[in-house]
Structure 1
Amino acid sequence: MQLLIILLVGFITIVHGVHFRGGTITWRPLNNTPSGSTAAVQVRERWSWNRITYPCTDATIASYGTLASNTYTYVQCYTGSCGSWTNMDIATNCTDYSAALIVSSGEHYETKTIPLNISFSVGFVSGNWLTNLVIGGNNQGWSVVCRINTNLRPDGYINSSPIAVSLPIVYKQVYIPQVHVVQMSDFDGTDILRCRWATSSGNINGADECDGVCNGIPGASLIYNNCTLVFTLTNPGVYAAAALQIEDYYSSSSTTPMSSVPIQFLFYGYAAPTASCTTPPAIIGNLPNRACIGTPVGSNVTQYIIVQVYCPGHAITD
């Protein structure tokens, strides 16, 4: 699918600078069976941006156009055994966008040759987050950090990092308790996954994982085992940044994660509707909301999403 589907009812387009809208870094070995002294590791980066700064359209996607090219900024190594890491350009191929949310998103993959039995942390550290944040506004910087670890697992294989997914911007009504689940998965199907808040220090990465948006959702709590955020937004028209780390453990008794990957995204607080429509739309049909759909790499996919609107005279904007 080319368009990022966002369900909005009765909202207007809202413009806010500056340009960063969050992202993630993940990794996996191309072959998890160790052979020799190195491993080919595929590193994936995904970033979301202000669409005014980095435009994306259907034509951009069809032509494999890039976002944030020629910025001379990179995913760099910050702690650990950095000798084998070469900087990874943050320019990505645009994969999806939302005109209503003014956001463009893209992904980029690189295969790195990394020695076995080392670990290190890489990150995209720069500025500026958008200005209209309840915590971390005023053009403060970002830090998105990932732990790569090629030490062999207890079962003798090379580990793969977890993956977490989210829309770059999620709309939530203010003054109502919200429960939001971040989906986690792992190529190593038996791993125990947990998520935690990103922190500025004292973490497995040995680095600042969140910079200006640490504790970016006031009063929020986090259920670590299933990555569920519980919070109430109290600032209409203002964004709150969620900065999380997803970590995989070999077993429920393990105390040290095998890897740690970031996911950072935004909540936007909107005021309660003043008109007659107070019931939000719902995704209906064969697939439930948050369904995970697998597809072969490089294939074209057509997926139908059926949405029910419960208020006469109201429509859906994607």
Structure 2
Amino acid sequence: MFCSFIFTDATHFNGGTIRWSPIDPYDNDTSNGIDIIQSYSWTYPNIQCAKDVPISTSGRSNANANLTCVVDCSTDGGYSNAPISILTDCISFNSTSKTLISERSSNVTLSADAHFYLAYTGSAWVALNHPLQSGLQWSIVTYIDLRKRPDGFINTPPVANFVSPQYTMVNQTTQINIPVSDENTGDDVRCRWSTYTAGYRRRKRSEEEHIEHQSVTHVYNKL
């Protein structure tokens, strides 16, 4: 498996989200269209508000890369033949908080029943822990699954409105509110802490799982 690593120093990238939704959840063709939406947070003015963030900022012309399949790539529905880039467009910035938000939606057509993990990966994350550890690897991952649900349509994943990064004090309990919602009426939204298992950044369900219905706020009492 080939993995693309982007050396992103902590002075400009603050994380973000990758989400997707089917264009027609009831599509029965041999291929299905989806929208992949990338939203990222950057440090302003280290990164300038423009199109094609971050390469539109002077000195970062080589910072482009593609979202890559990292797990279950044999069933990626042809994504790896025509991957999309991590470039996004500035939608807002705040000079006081020194933050910039960029976003881009890309239309992708995949084979029906495709299912795989798609990621933006990199290294050199901001130093963390105590004592500080630098050069940490990071990944922003989404799971795309175009297989039909038992009730006959493609699921639209829930959305978590979460601002990155979140800071906490060492050895101090911190409460973080994560508002989540689901377009599929009646679905349960399940949030959980991941735990490491063998394999490329694989995660399994943790022993503690918080289950609520859509459009609720989940409160986690530990990190």
Same fold per TM (> 0.5)? yes
Instruction: Measure how far apart 1:200 and its partner are.
Output: 4.1
Find 1:72's aligned residue among 61, 64, 67.
64
Secondary structure of the residue aligned to 2:29 is coil
CA distance in 2, matches of 1:171, 1:146: 23
Secondary structure of the residue aligned to 1:188 is coil
Secondary structure of the residue aligned to 2:106 is strand
Matched AA of 1:144: I
2:160 paired with 1:164:
yes
CA distance in 1, matches of 2:42, 2:208: 26
Aligned length: 196
2:70 paired with 1:84:
no
Q: Does the CA contact (< 8 Å) of 2:193 and 2:209 recur in 1?
A: no
Instruction: Measure how far apart 1:137 and its partner are.
Output: 4.2
Q: Cα distance 1:193–1:121, how it changes in 2: closer, same or farther (>3 A)?
A: same
CA distance in 2, matches of 1:26, 1:137: 29
Q: Cα distance 1:105–1:137, how it changes in 2: closer, same or farther (>3 A)?
A: farther
Instruction: Measure how far apart 1:171 and its partner are.
Output: 6.5
Aligned to 1:229: 220
CA distance in 1, matches of 2:194, 2:54: 25
Instruction: Measure how far apart 1:180 and its partner are.
Output: 2.0
Aligned to 1:134: 129
Aligned to 1:53: 46
Of structures 1 and 2, the larger Rg is shown by 1
Instruction: Measure how far apart 1:128 and its partner are.
Output: 2.5
TM-score normalised per structure 2: 0.75
* Structure with greater proportional strand content: 2
2:135 paired with 1:143:
no
Aligned to 1:265: none
Aligned to 2:189: 193
Aligned to 2:94: 98
Equivalences for residues 279-290 of structure 1 within 5 A: none
CA distance in 2, matches of 1:33, 1:158: 7
RMSD: 2.9
Matched AA of 1:67: V
Instruction: Measure how far apart 1:176 and its partner are.
Output: 7.0
